[in-house]
Amino acid sequence: MNISRMRHSQLKAFHHVALLGGFSAAARALGLTQPAISEQVRALERDHDVHLFQRKGRQVSLTLSGRRLFRLTERYFETEAEIAGLLSEARAVPGGRLRLMVDNAVHITGLLAAFQRRYPKVSIQLSTGNSAAVLAALDAYEAEIGLIGSADPGRGFTVLALGGSPIVGFARAGLIAGASHGLTLREILEHPLVLREPGSKTREALVAAAHERGLILTPAIEVEGQEALREIVAEGVGIGFVSRAEFVADPRLEMLPIKDARLEMHESLVHVAARQDVRVIRSFMDFARARVGVRGAGRET
């Protein structure tokens, strides 16, 4: 069934309801009445015998079929915007929405601020997650740009390496006598460990280094997110781990170098290679290359 038979307006109504979370919000965004939006969505469901939304009062949520269609309309309307941008001189200055998902925003706060000053028409949305979650969001078209703790996200991604930083331990200040001078991995394992959730590149590097030495690295506590990690470690529960670049100066905490392993996190900006012609993605990556002084360093893997 081709797009003309579905009617572009029906797909557009569905897409905006799914994107904005409700019929009223979609109506406002499209400059239509709510009944008009509702009728377009009903017609799409009726004409194609598909159930796209669960309706409960004023709340709506996508069904499985709705989620699958939304992933496709994301790509469809993105392509439509690319075509309009190519054909219209008015699109010379990038605008629209740029969704970034990062493992830690500390690595790109300066870059984001500079980009926003250069392109004030771009609305930036920032969310956090471990490297596995970032790649999943990019692959699902739920984000345009990702920041991960790896130089090799796998095939299908374009990568811009931002540099490396050694992994260090940290603990509540004074918790482990003399530890500020460094600990071996074996000495580290004598203490409770507070680790990020599976999918964290920091955790993967530590587990691999321990395995090479015949050691088993088991968390006493597993947490999601850097903020939770820092606060739990500050309570004196055990040793946490971050890259040195991510260690935030805090009088409650002290850094513990790892003496017998040189472990590094390699932060990289990534995006789906197939989306390289999306104007806002291309503008951000070109801007980033110029800022980090490695113009053209992006590579497809």
Q: Which domains does the chain have, with CATH numbers?
A: 3-69 (1.10.10.10), 89-162+266-300 (3.40.190.10), 165-264 (3.40.190.10)
Would you write out the chain's pLDDT as a tens digit for each of its 301 residues? 455 555 888 999 999 999 888 898 888 888 889 899 999 999 999 988 999 999 887 788 999 999 999 999 988 888 877 776 666 544 455 678 899 999 888 888 888 998 998 889 899 999 988 888 999 999 999 999 999 987 778 889 999 988 888 999 999 999 998 888 889 999 999 999 999 888 888 898 999 999 999 998 899 999 988 888 999 999 999 999 998 888 888 999 999 999 988 888 888 999 999 998 888 999 999 889 887 754 334 443 3
Could you please report the per-residue DSSP string of the chain? --HHHH-HHHHHHHHHHHHHTSHHHHHHHHT--HHHHHHHHHHHHHHHT---EEEETTEEEE-HHHHHHHHHHHHHHHHHHHHHHHH-GGGGS--EEEEEEES-GGGTHHHHHHHHHH-TTEEEEEEE--HHHHHHHHHTTS-SEEEES-S---TTEEEEEEEEEEEEEEEETTSSTTGGG-B-HHHHTTS-BEEEPTT-HHHHHHHHHHHHTT-----SEEESSHHHHHHHHHTTS-BEEEEGGGPPP-TTEEEE-BTT---EEEEEEEEEGGGTT-HHHHHHHHHHHHHHT-TT--EE-
Torsion of CA 67, 148, 276, 96, to 10 degrees: 60
- pLDDT on residue 68: 92
Q: For the chain, what is the radius of gyration of the CA atoms?
A: 23
Residue with tokens 């194609």: 48
Q: What gap in Å lies between CA 236 and CA 176, rounded to an integer?
A: 10
- pLDDT on residue 171: 94
- pLDDT on residue 285: 92
pTM for the complete prediction? 0.59
- pLDDT on residue 146: 95
Q: Are strands 194-196 and 221-223 parallel, antiparallel or unpaired?
A: parallel
Q: What gap in Å lies between CA 134 and CA 130, rounded to an integer?
A: 6
Q: What gap in Å lies between CA 188 and CA 270, rounded to an integer?
A: 33
- pLDDT on residue 93: 57
What is the crossing angle of helices 109-118 and 279-292, to 10°? 120
What type of residue is 32?
L
